[in-house]
Structure 1
Amino acid sequence: MTSNAKAMAGDNPRLARIVRVSRTMATITLIAAAAVPAILLAVLFFDPPSLDDWLMEALKAASRTVLTPETRIAAMVIAAVPAAVGVTVLLLLHRLFLGFSRGQILVPESGRILRRIGIVIVVLGPLEILLRALASVVLSLPNPPGERQIVVGISSDDITTIISGVLLIVLGWTLEEAARIADENRQFV
């Protein structure tokens, strides 16, 4: 903990709790960001049948879908996109929590990071709709003509993802503006 964070936390038990929880969350988000690709690679090399199950679930494939070597590779590429977006969000969260753990709570940078997280999450909503449609085409390619399909659908999860992202963008703007006002008020004193 930096001396600034210690000074802030020492005066206020709520801030001390924010600093402490943020330090823990900074560690957890960094470990999770490293673990996601490591786990996927481990499953790829050591338990391919589990990878197939994960791909089918992640891409919301029909239960009768059979993966060929070609469709398996294409499915892995498609499924890697949301996984990479998830890792990006975890790394942004790590930066945000790391700043909080250092006492950088009401600062413009926290608002900017929160806004970036929101933008990534907003983009994830429509991206997942497109990826599921692409996956339905790719996974049905081995089927005989007339049995290939494209499935396009919007779920309540997609809408919730987009709304959550917009909420984070607005909270980021709010935090940035609050930090600016707090800085102006400090300059008057």
Structure 2
Amino acid sequence: MNSAMVRGLVIAALTGKTDAGDRVYSPRDWATSADMYPALLVQTPFEEKHSLGRNAPQFTTVTTVRITGLLQALDSATDDDGAKKAEIALEALREQVERAVINSYDLTRQTQQFKSIRSTIDVSASGEGHTAQMLYELDIEYYQGPEDFYPVESVPLAGIDTTIKMPDGTTETVVTVDLPQ
């Protein structure tokens, strides 16, 4: 398991299960347009490993998965309600994202826990309509062991030369072991 695999599991959990439908992108350029909305952009900006000991490469790893939700709402012909519609739609999208990810069997089966979840929403009237953005971050914890880091690059052992120190007056004993290739 690694961050890229976690990201793939999150994408699979989201695709087709929110108002964004199959508009779940990762990786991609962040530039989007109104005809793409609603859309979800998924990335893994942070990873932290905590060692489980000194002898083998074993870690409790926490990957932060950031899901950015984007949508746009226009004012009604008779009412200046675009911001309200955008915020309501964004809250619904946030709920759908949360349910899709937390209820993903594949994701929960291959990870240990959702260590924490943070979300923020923001609505802006700087464009043609009211553009709304949600940041949803999950800290997903999982185990990484030696199997995640192999093969270990090393120099193959070709032979062993051993000299045994004997008491004075004894013939020096030398043992050479050549290992077959």
TM-score interval w.r.t. the shorter chain? under 0.3
Structure of larger gyration radius:
2
Using the size of structure 1 for normalisation, the TM-score is 0.25
Higher helix share: 1
